[in-house]
Structure 1
Amino acid sequence: MTSIARRFAMPSTSLLSAACLLGLVLIRPPQLAAASEASPGVVIAHSPAVSQIFLGSPSLAILPNGVYIAAHDTFGPRSTQNGEALYESRNAGKTWRKIGELRGQYWSSLFVNKGALYIVGTSGFSGVPTIRRSLNGGRTWTIPRDSDTGVLADGGKYFSAAVPVVVANGRIWRTIERVESTGIWAMMMSAPVDSDLLKAENWTFSNRLAPDPSWLKGKFGGWLEGNAVAKPDGKVVDVLRVYYNALPEKAAIAPVSADGTTLTFDPQHGFVDMPGGGKKFTIRFDPQTKLYWSLTNAVTGSYGGHNYERARNTLALVSSSDLHDWSVRRIVLHHSDWNTHGFQYVDWQFNGDDIVAVVRTSDDDPEGGAHSQHDSNWIKFNRISHFRDNPASQ
């Protein structure tokens, strides 16, 4: 997080507290003791730490024919920070193979609309919003050249990740953030679902919401990587990751108007307690349970560090009925070492009774493993079977 602060001029004093926080109640789910020290999952990609190229922002889509498509970008000293690698699985995630690379695409989300596969993000590190379309399962793509072919803004610096793309009230919604001198400002982008999504004129960008370091009694350090979440009544909100180095962790909820033009935030009521809210998460609504679900890096009783934003050694399945009250349902992945192990930036989809997920992973490998929980050396695929079941009854 300190690297983000330096790059985007966010106040370092508000991003992190250097003091040890004592007397805080930690999440201690009973399932933690049974969680494996190993990192299960199917390997999609690997890059050893010595390469200084780390694997980030995994995204996952399921095509109408059942094929899984995954994408990820890279970061680190030797990364160009402007490309996406693409993979497919034709056997429900059991094996993966690389099908291509895209240059000029970064921090991107895969999604399917009207049978076509899309990828939307930025043109590179702090680049402009960019979208591409594939009609053959990700093997070939349109090339963004101008405002008619996928370049959605003509200037500025933007921030994002593999965040959800949702459909509500006839529009496609996705969050994005604008990089300003005072930090990262929240935004929402949307377009009519039946429009040509490659044309910039069809996209509406909301106003930008500025961060305020006085929020949360001066402990607010910024927000980013928001989720477009469609409620059952059709209303859409932006649920943002919040930098707040205390427990319980926080997320921020900012409603957007039906036409996508106006994003608002009430600091008195807009912050909610959320396990893992200080790290990137993906939220999706399940009509069967009528619950919102997410996979987050909840802080458990085993974490002994003082920087909760880097507590990424536990991956928890959490749920909420209203986006305000969240509970940990089970621990999916855990390692006792929080310095060099992390299961983070998870993107996922419902798949029948299961959740299928792609996980940016810092873990052991034959080359000596990751050198930090943040600088990930793997992208892995994981399946959470019967996610709706109570794990205590299994």
Structure 2
Amino acid sequence: MKKYALFLCLFLYQMVGAQVPGSVVAYSPASSGLYIGSPSVCILPNGDYLASHDLFGPKSNEFEKPISKIYRSQDKGKTWTHIADINGQFWSKLFVHEKGLYFMGTSKHHGNTIIRKSTDNGNTWSEPTDAENGLLLAGEYHCAPMPLIEHDGKLWRAMEDAMGPIKKWGKRYGAFMMSIPLGADPMKATNWTSSNVLRHDSTLLGGNFGGWIEGNAVVDPNGQLWDVLRVDDKSTLEEKAAFVKISADGKTATFDRDADFVKFPGGSKKFSIRYDSKSKLYWTITNYIPDEIKAANKGRNPASIRNTQALFSSKDLRNWDLRKILLQHPDIIKHGFQYVDWLFEGKNNIIFLSRTAYEDGQGGAHNNHDANYMTFHRIKKFRKSKP
């Protein structure tokens, strides 16, 4: 019976999935109680693509021992094969560093900060048993599949401490940065440095500050490193990001409450920023809210509007230009393109994964947040994109 149900699900997704934008990497119907989260993508030295996601929702084990799934594509993202399940990995980013393949995130929803290594292109992974083997920080932590960058002789990765005194979403999260010298073993906890944690401050934004999470490690045009975070502010549809300054030694994080909240399209949802040396621009793919959608949804929490993904660029990290609408659906309740993870591909393209909520012939996604698909996409000649 289980085999028949699995066959039926696969058949339906193949029949209906053709209507879903992009190439389907993974599918989980709403009826399963397992929703697709945390898309992550990397390109292996041999040219293969790896993709990952975790599973959250009422039938998942996200608070105890969540599952992350790994997929491989050997045809530039056209088709994907499931190659591994990892028990005890959540909110995690795949990345290649100094010829090693790693998977960094948490052990569960608000779990330890951990990192795993694969020596066979993602088929099998190490276990984070102790501080010598991938257990980096014990406690309660939060993150998303965010970019890791090399700068000033170190590898940098933004994280959030989830051990604030008020155990509520947003209020429990504090921003900090992790770093490790290039050439050091990422699997050893003692090689990593953590900055101080900047806790939630209820007085920010005139009392409307709900929290900051899912930070980006980014270097500005002057060489200053920042942790650029998603900001929760339910009082307005004018979205913003927070710019937390990180010292050169990685030990000190500071925030100017008057200058470091910056208008940012899609800033109330997860976004990733990367710098392109050819165009000398910063690029992001973000859950932008177009003016016509703002006009029709006054008073709505901006974080709940996820039906548009758009490409933006910036010269200075603080002023952003719309380059192209990438994905959009008129319905904001049960359709969403979100938590995009992306990379530059070759000389002219961008590839990205989306956590996609879309119709599937079985009633669609549970809602726009609780996605039933992970989809793969490519932006060709992205530098020539125009609105």
TM normalised by structure 2 equals 0.89
Tell me if structure 1 keeps the 8 A contact 2:237–2:301. Answer: no
The equivalent residue for 2:131 is 147
**Could you list the per-position Cα deviations for residues 39-63 of structure 1 after superposition, in whole angstroms to 9, with x for gaps in the alignment?**
4100010000011100001001111
How far apart in 1 are the matches of 2:222 and 2:230? 23
For residues 262-289 of structure 1, the C-alpha deviation after alignment (integer angstroms, 9 at most, x for no partner) is 1111111001101100000111011111
Query: CA separation in 2, counterparts of 1:123 and 1:316?
Result: 31
Secondary structure of 2:173's partner?
strand
- Residue aligned with 1:337, SS: coil
Deviations 1:324-348 (A, max 9, x none): 1112111000000000000000000
Superposed CA offset, 1:186-205 (max 9, x none): 01111112001100000011
Residue of 293, 318, 323 corresponding to 1:302: 293
Could you tell me whether the CA contact under 8 Å between 2:73 and 2:80 is conserved in 1? yes
- What amino acid does structure 2 have at the position aligned with 1:276? G
Structure-2 residue corresponding to 1:21:
none
SS of structure 1 residue aligned to 2:227: strand
User: Would the aligned equivalents of 1:312 and 1:341 in 2 still touch at CA under 8 Å?
Assistant: yes
State whether structure 2 residue 131 is matched by structure 1 residue 131: no
Query: 2:54 — aligned with what?
Result: 73
Which residue number in structure 1 is paired with residue 158 of structure 2? Answer: 175
CA drift at 1:83: 2.1
| Residue 342 (structure 2) aligns with | 348
Which of 375, 382, 391 is the equivalent residue of 2:377? 382
Q: Secondary structure at the match of 1:130?
A: strand
Q: Does 1:157 pair with 2:140?
A: yes
Give the whole-Å Cα distance in 1 for the aligned partners of 2:83 and 2:201.
43
TM-aligned CA deviation for residue 232 of structure 1: 5.0
2:308 corresponds to 1:314? yes
The one-letter code matched in structure 2 to 1:153 is: L
Contact 1:47 1:378 in 2 (8 A): yes
| Percent identical residues | 47
Which position in structure 1 is the counterpart of 2:232? 243
Contact 1:61–1:112 under 8 Å retained in 2:
yes
Letter in 2 for 1:175: A
Which residue of structure 1 lines up, in the alignment, with residue 86 of structure 2?
Answer: 102
What TM-score, normalized by structure 1, do the two folds share? 0.88
| Separation of aligned partners in 1, 2:251 and 2:344 | 30
Query: Aligned partner of 1:326: which letter?
Result: W
Determine which of 320, 330, 337 is the counterpart of 1:326: 320
4+ long deviations beyond 4 Å: none
| Contact 1:294 1:319 (C-alpha < 8 Å) held by counterparts | yes
Counterpart position of 2:102: 118
2:20 and 2:311 map into 1 onto residues whose CA distance is 16
1:195 is aligned to 2:184: yes
Tell me which of 260, 269, 283 is aligned to 2:259: 269
Q: Return 5+ residue gaps in structure 1 as ranges.
A: 1-37
How many angstroms apart in 1 are the aligned matches of 2:338 and 2:53?
13
Q: Tell me the residue number matched to 1:363.
A: 358
| Structure 1 position 116, deviation (Å) | 1.2
Give the CA deviation at 1:181. 2.2
8 Å CA contact 1:169, 1:234 repeated in 2: no
CA distance in 2, matches of 1:237, 1:388: 24
Distance 1:117 1:361 in 2: 26
Letter in structure 2 aligned against 1:166: I
Give ranges in structure 2 of 5+ residues lacking alignment: 1-18, 167-171
* Residues 221, 316 of structure 2: 8 Å contact kept: no
